[in-house]
Amino acid sequence: MPVPEEVGFSLNDGSTILLRLAGCGDAEKIIKVIKTDAPDRSYVLMEHYGSKPDSIKSYICGMDPERNLLLVAVSGGEVIGVLSGIQMDQGRRPHTAHVMNIGLHIAPEHRGLGIGSKMLDYAAAWAKEHDFEKLETDIFITNKKSLHLFERAGFIEEGTRQKRIRIGKQYIDEVLLGKML
């Protein structure tokens, strides 16, 4: 059975969350969620596709929806979470085309409610449906909550890149996690 384009679920407080595929019109809302992360982490993420609405929109609209996933979590009409699943090496290398790299961002006031777990479940189902065999992510070692979330979702630590990111004068290690599907 195909993964639906939209999935709704209720939180313990009775509020409803809708997971849906992102569209071109979601660019500004996605930027807003990503900027709720620590400013240093947001900066690192936005290097990939820019920080201006036009560059984000161009990136989103240009994604191949058969090989890349962009999922948003919506509550009360507002985007509160974003999950990107990008095919490794943009599918250019047959040796890594089976791998999808995951990035997940939840607005701080919505963390710890199970939204990230539901988004990861959706991503795994979508990836299987699109013939991916492995999910990967890399997380700053200082982000203990995200590390725990991915481990609960079945990701295992595959290594650590020492002093991978430099922010100001501080170096931060990055943990590599993977999950076979």
- CB atoms closer than 10 angstroms to residue 17: 21
Q: What is the tens place of the pLDDT at every residue in 30-57? A: 888 877 765 445 444 445 556 666 777 7
Residue 62, judged by CB atoms within 10 A of its CB (0-12, 13-18, 19+), counts as exposed
- The pLDDT assigned to 45 comes to 47
- pTM, two decimals, is 0.89
Domains of the chain with bracketed CATH: 7-180 (3.40.630.30)
24 CA to centre of own chain: 17
C-beta of residue 60 within 8 angstroms of C-beta of residue 70: yes
Mean pLDDT of the chain: 88
Distances, alpha carbon 167 to alpha carbons 17, 95, 132, 143, 172, in Å = 34, 32, 33, 15, 8
Q: What is the tens place of the pLDDT at every residue in 53-87? A: 677 778 788 888 889 999 999 999 999 999 999 99
C-beta of residue 7 within 8 angstroms of C-beta of residue 119: no
Q: What is the tens place of the pLDDT at every residue in 86-131? A: 999 888 899 999 999 999 999 999 999 999 999 999 999 999 999 9
